[in-house]
């Protein structure tokens, strides 16, 4: 578990409605809280919308989503790309006899 402190600095003690938009998708309504708010969660990456109902003002806080790291594609050398290939299975000429 991680505890995330959602703090707006200037609006301590104000009532706010927090909505969370996780990087994984969807929407989570955290609810009406008094600022600052401590959010206990397993997954915290994404954007938090903090709406102050008494002030009619919305602030946003973001914990950046990870960006995929591109992986290099392995290049096959030109001289190996089109080698003829065949598969032969050797079949024994004389099979061993079963021993009673």
User: For the chain, what are the domain ranges?
Assistant: 2-63
Residue with the two structure tokens 């946003």:
60
The tokens for 22 are 């996780």
- Kindly report the number of other CB atoms within 10 A of residue 71's CB atom: 6
63-98 pLDDT, tens per residue? 888 887 776 666 665 555 554 444 444 545 555 555
25-45 pLDDT, tens per residue? 999 999 999 999 999 999 999
Q: Model-level pTM greater than 0.95? A: no
3-state class (DSSP) for residue 22: strand
Of 11 and 75, the one with more pLDDT: 11
Phi, psi angle pair for 14, to nearest 5° = -80, 155
Phi, psi angle pair for 46, to nearest 5° = 145, -160
């Amino acid at each position: 578990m991680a505890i995330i402190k959602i703090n707006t600095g200037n609006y301590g003690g104000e009532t706010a409605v927090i909505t969370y938009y996780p990087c994984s998708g969807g929407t989570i309504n955290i609810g009406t809280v008094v600022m600052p708010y401590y959010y206990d969660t397993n997954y915290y990456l994404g954007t938090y919308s903090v709406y102050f109902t008494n002030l009619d003002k919305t602030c946003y806080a973001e914990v950046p989503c990870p960006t995929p790291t591109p992986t290099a594609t392995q290049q096959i050398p030109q001289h190996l790309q089109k080698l003829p290939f065949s598969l032969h299975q050797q079949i024994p000429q004389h099979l061993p006899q079963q021993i009673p």
